[in-house]
Structure 1
Amino acid sequence: MANILVIDDEQDVLHLIKRILEKEGHCVNVRDSALAVRPEDLTESQLIILDVMMPGVDGLSYCQKIRSQVACPIIFLTAKANEQDLLDGFASGGDDYITKPFSLKELIARVSGHLRRDQRKQRQGLNDGPIELLLGKQLFLVAGKEVKLTRSEFHICQLLFRHKEQVFSKEMIYDSLYGIDALGDSQTIITERVKNIRRKYKEQGEQPIKTVWGIGYRWEREA
């Protein structure tokens, strides 16, 4: 049914997920670290299950690194499930969380649900009215015309666009752009980035980024 990549440093977890999802008819590829993942693993995958706590490269950092390369859903596996952990996961580009230990029914339901939604997105295209996201070309279009975004502006738009229901603080956006260890004034930098993005969209008659006062930003196109 689908090609699924599972990345986890626990062999027992890898074997369990592989066995369960293969029974559901999926083709499952397993890797015991992010460093073991090959480029073709990413391009061929229709869904990725990614452990958060791994030695070497952790799941959040790896998700942030690959998010611009893959459009498929990414589900985190984690033993941590407080609110900040969830927000960090979404900020890095993840689509969902499954908390360890997990039930097999929950795993199957989450995977099936994301695959169905992703198939609908592919049929409909990644768009919001006249605004379209072309992941492969790293472009946003308005009515077929390219919005001339810088790399960081594109990243911000993609983050907000892919998680329309989520509000992101300036700190979360900054961490997603530059990493959690980066030094800089997140308030000023992200404010200026968003200001530039809004100006470029306004030139084409759109305003898709809404300020949620006291919290941050979310993607909400004005009708």
Structure 2
Amino acid sequence: MANILAVDDEPDILALIKRALEKDSHLVTTAVSPDQIKLKTLNYFDLILLDVMMPGMDGFAFCQKVRDLVDCPILFLTAKTMESDVMYGFGLGADDYIKKPFSTGELRARVNAHLRREKREKRNALHLSGLEFNLAAKEVTVNGQKIPLTKIEYGICEFLAKNHGQVFSKEQIYDAVCGYDAEGDSFTVAVHIKNIRAKLAVYQLAPISTVWGIAYKWD
């Protein structure tokens, strides 16, 4: 399952995309204009489908605007398949394009292929919310500067970041990071998150939100 954003000024196309990708259990958010997208929500998505030709801000302009804010795949939906247009899109940071009109089979295959590749690549590195996770070294850096996290603090950050947008209780976080057989108290999760927030605040970063007062998520 992945969280996917689809932006296209044609509601019928958006409905088709939503129906097709929900067959693979993906969660699809749709918008008829880039103006409807709040930039702070972009890191919630695992893949973005973006129409090229839209009134107002077109797909090329929106891709250029957000490419440095997200590291997920961006796929253009376009009837413009001249080589110059394709190369321009790739130059802006697009990962692929799907030619209109497209079949739902092709759409699902292309999307799932990129999601599989993205999952493989993130075994070693994860870029999210201005942070870079070195999954092999178990380190987090900001602009190359290592953040001094304890082992458990790092584990909490990695778990929440890998599942960004999802809400977890203190008990779920404790079990995921420390293991079901660990001897300890899930209450300590709140203390660790307080310490994490203080360390990230030095860099003006606050990616962990409290939900309902008893749970947390990585925005």
What TM-score do you get using the length of structure 1 for normalisation? 0.58
Q: Identity rate of aligned residues, in percent?
A: 52
Q: Which amino acid aligns with 1:28?
A: V
Moved over 2 A (4+): 134-139, 143-148
User: RMSD over aligned Cα, in angstroms?
Assistant: 2.5
Give the CA deviation at 1:39. Answer: 2.8
Note if contact 1:5-1:41 (Cα within 8 Å) is conserved in structure 2. Answer: no
The answer for the alignment partner of 1:44 in structure 2 is 44
Aligned residue pair count: 140
Taking a change above 3 Å as real, the CA distance of residues 138 and 2 of structure 1, as seen in their structure-2 partners, is closer
Is the 2:73–2:94 Cα contact (8 Å) retained in structure 1?
A: yes
Distance 1:41 1:50 in 2: 16
1:77-88 matches, within 5 Å, as 77-88=77-88
TM-score, structure 2 as length reference:
0.59
Which residue is equivalent to 1:98? 98
Structure 2: 5+ residue runs without aligned partners? 146-219
Listed as ranges, the gaps of 5+ residues in structure 1 are: 127-133, 149-223
Alpha-carbon distance in 2 for matches of 1:81, 1:98 = 9
Aligned with 1:49: secondary structure? strand
Code of the aligned partner of 1:79: A
Distance, in Å, in 2 between the alignment partners of 1:12 and 1:2 is 22
- Paired position in structure 2 for 1:111: 111
Inter-partner Cα distance in structure 1 for 2:52 and 2:37: 15
Match of 1:137 in 2: 130
Q: What code does the residue aligned with 2:15 have? A: H
- Counterpart of 1:199? none
State the match for 1:56 in structure 2: 56
The answer to whether the Cα contact below 8 Å between 1:68 and 1:135 also exists between their aligned partners in 2 is no
Amino acid at match of 1:4: I
Separation in 2 of the partners of 1:62 and 1:137? 19
Question: 1: CA distance between counterparts of 2:70 and 2:43?
Answer: 7
CA deviation profile, 1:127-149 (whole Å, cap 9, x unmatched): xxxxxxx564378x9x999679x
Q: Determine whether 1:68 maps to 2:68.
A: yes
Deviation per CA, 1:110-164, whole angstroms, max 9, x where unpaired?
Answer: 00000000011111226xxxxxxx564378x9x999679xxxxxxxxxxxxxxxx
Which amino acid in structure 1 is aligned with residue 21 of structure 2? Answer: L
- Secondary structure of 1:123's aligned partner: coil
Tell me the SS of whatever aligns to 2:5: strand
Contact 1:42 1:70 in 2 (8 A): yes
CA deviation string 1:34-90 (max 9, x = no partner)? 001123441210000000000010001100100011110000000010111111111
